[in-house]
Structure 1
Amino acid sequence: MTEQSEAASTAAAEELAARSLGLAGAVNARDLGGYRTADGRVLRTGVALRSDGLHRLTEPDLAVFAALGVRQVVDLRSLDEVREAGPDRVPGLPVADISAVELSDQPLSLSAAGPDGITLHHLPIFAADYDIYVALRDALGERNPARQHALLGEGRAGQVMIGLYRWFVTDALARERFATVLRLLADPDGTPVLFHCTAGKDRTGWTAALLLTALGVDRATVYQDYLLTNVRSAAIIEHIVDSFGTRGLMEDPSLLLPLFRADRDYLAAAFAEVEARWGSFQAFWQDGLGLDEAVLAGLRKNLLGDTGR
């Protein structure tokens, strides 16, 4: 390894460590703070947090999470995902009560007692026509290599993902749910906010992309943040894919990789849909998401610090 490549590798590792929330049970939990906007301002740390599911948090994780001071948790998982994986483990909220909230396909909220109590919002974003969990279940249920290839091979898995990202933009209910997360982040008394889905990749990734773009972070950095999922989740993805092979569920488990990995083309498809239908991100913000300058001002006030110079 050359000195230049070694330095780049070290810098990448340091950035990952700096962004990590330190949750062993949520490997993709990270801070959006530190990114710079076009006008030189810097996102504050500890205010806007993105993550994979919180259902696997360990006992030590609960103390780490509590120290983050999160005021609001937004769970974007569908009802089926919550049923299959389990409800979030959120310090200050009884699991039984969380289950009652999360086992509903309607947007609901549950708050802990007291003025400083945490609030959990269940905002399911679910696309029946682009359900990667159904695709995964069908592929594993078949245990037929030819059928699995017919479902996922020849780029079909990637096309499912591209369709999902376009749906994020075209579906009115999905847009409403994404806009709700942005409003929560703009609430003057609502931060820190942690938003998540199952892997912290797709719905979480698009939410983060919307937020960073609205604040004026350049598109290259938006992609950089999105693709960090592949680094943070690499080990768990490798373990899952290998297990499908060793357990005899798939002859070629690599067919699943397009479902598990973040891909630049997926996020590009969502942005392309914005341009095609609304012409500009600003028009999409107003007419697609139904958000106004007051929400944008709230985001800037809550999330942006000084120029950092």
Structure 2
Amino acid sequence: MTEHQPLPADATGNPTPGQREMAARSLGLRGAANARDLGGYRTSDGRALRHGVALRSDALHRLTGPDLDTLTALGLRQVVDLRSLAEVRENGPDRVPGLPVAELDAAEHSAEPVTVSPPEPGGVTLHHLPIYSEHFDIYVALRDALAARDPAAQRALLGDGGGAAIMDGLYRWFVTDAVIRDRFARVLRLLAQPGGTPLLFHCTAGKDRTGWTAALLLTALGVDRDTVFDDYLLTNERHSGIVTQIMDSFGTRGIMQEPELILPVYRAEPAYLAASFAEVEAGWPSFDAFLVDGLGLDDSVRDGLRANLLTG
């Protein structure tokens, strides 16, 4: 399991304001370094997201016993896993407080949405909502390219801007595919349910699918676009040490001759999130229209989100 990386400091040796903000948002999970709280962001009408109700994360399969205790102490009610079947097969199912391992394993080894309910009232419910393409599963494509250790194949996939192009296409697909739009919409509906929070949503790295879910939620609540992008880019700070270790390992183990080729896939880049928003603007007259016509969210859902997540 990868340990947390220390925060880089400014010239005085102290964390910068942005780094202090990132540290404050962290849930402190040793097995999920990118687990953090969306609470505290301000909306255009002067309200703020409540702390401890909307949580975003990387995958939960490496959670430790103390991590599970932390989630229990938060009063967690729902977990949404956005990983594909291949990702679950490779890394294992989530660890969720109070849910039997066998039931989690069966549910998450499914290519279709599955819900695991708690054995006792008031426990945690897990929703497996896999977001991936049957025609081009990026996770599988990257896994196979790395496993082959073929420099030419890796360069053909990732070189000459290929990695960035893959990510651009992924973020546009989040918006253009109707089935996938519905999966994202389900997360927002779950967040809007009475008694549905605290809710934690995640994918594998907590970057792409999780990043677009957070962007949808924050924008729907009236958080300004700059803040939405700032939250998205915090992943780079949480994962910088891990990414460096992975790339070094690829080189020393002979998996890649050019480990830098995969960096665009591992990083959160503003252009990627901008591609999703560009598709929204291309297909709908406004973001509000996208919420209604693209995601199928009526006023009751948006009212529920405000009631559950905002102060005041």
Q: Give your verdict on TM over 0.5.
A: yes
Give TM class, smaller chain. over 0.9
Partner of 1:164: 170
Q: Is the 8 A contact 1:46 1:68 kept in 2?
A: yes
Map 1:55-134 → 2, pairs under 5 A: 55-134=61-140
Map 1:10-89 → 2, pairs under 5 A: 10-89=16-95
1:262 to 261, 268, 273: 268
Q: 1:66: how far off?
A: 1.3
Q: Is the 8 A contact 1:130 1:164 kept in 2?
A: no
Question: Matched residue of 1:195: which SS?
Answer: strand
1:180 to 176, 182, 186: 186
Partner of 2:227: 221
Provide the TM-score with structure 2 as the length reference: 0.94
Query: Are 2:175 and 1:207 equivalent residues in the alignment?
Result: no
Pair 5,127 (structure 1): closer, same or farther in 2 beyond 3 Å: farther
Pair 188,6 (structure 1): closer, same or farther in 2 beyond 3 Å: farther
% same residue = 67
Q: Deviations over 1:48-100 (max 9, x none)?
A: 00000000111221211211111000000011111110000111011111001
Distance in 1 between residues matched to 2:12 and 2:131, nearest whole Å: 41
Q: 1:8: how far off?
A: 8.9
The code of the aligned residue for 1:115 comes to P
Partner of 1:193: 199
Q: 1:148: how far off?
A: 1.6
Partner of 2:6: none
Question: Matched residue of 2:127: which SS?
Answer: strand
Structure 1: gaps (5+ residues)? none
The code of the aligned residue for 1:173 comes to V
Distance in 2 between residues matched to 1:265 and 1:8, nearest whole Å: 30
Q: Is the 8 A contact 1:130 1:160 kept in 2?
A: no
- Once structures 1 and 2 are overlaid, which stretch shifts more, 57-66 or 69-78? 57-66
Question: Matched residue of 2:126: which SS?
Answer: strand
Distance in 1 between residues matched to 2:187 and 2:47, nearest whole Å: 22
Structure 2: gaps (5+ residues)? 1-8
Provide the TM-score with structure 1 as the length reference: 0.95
Aligned length: 304
Distance in 2 between residues matched to 1:85 and 1:287, nearest whole Å: 36
Q: Is the 8 A contact 1:127 1:164 kept in 2?
A: no
Q: 1:6: how far off?
A: 5.0
Q: 1:47: how far off?
A: 0.2
Question: Matched residue of 1:208: which SS?
Answer: helix
Q: 1:227: how far off?
A: 0.4
Q: Is the 8 A contact 2:80 2:202 kept in 1?
A: yes
Pair 7,214 (structure 1): closer, same or farther in 2 beyond 3 Å: farther
The code of the aligned residue for 2:270 comes to R
Pair 64,4 (structure 1): closer, same or farther in 2 beyond 3 Å: closer
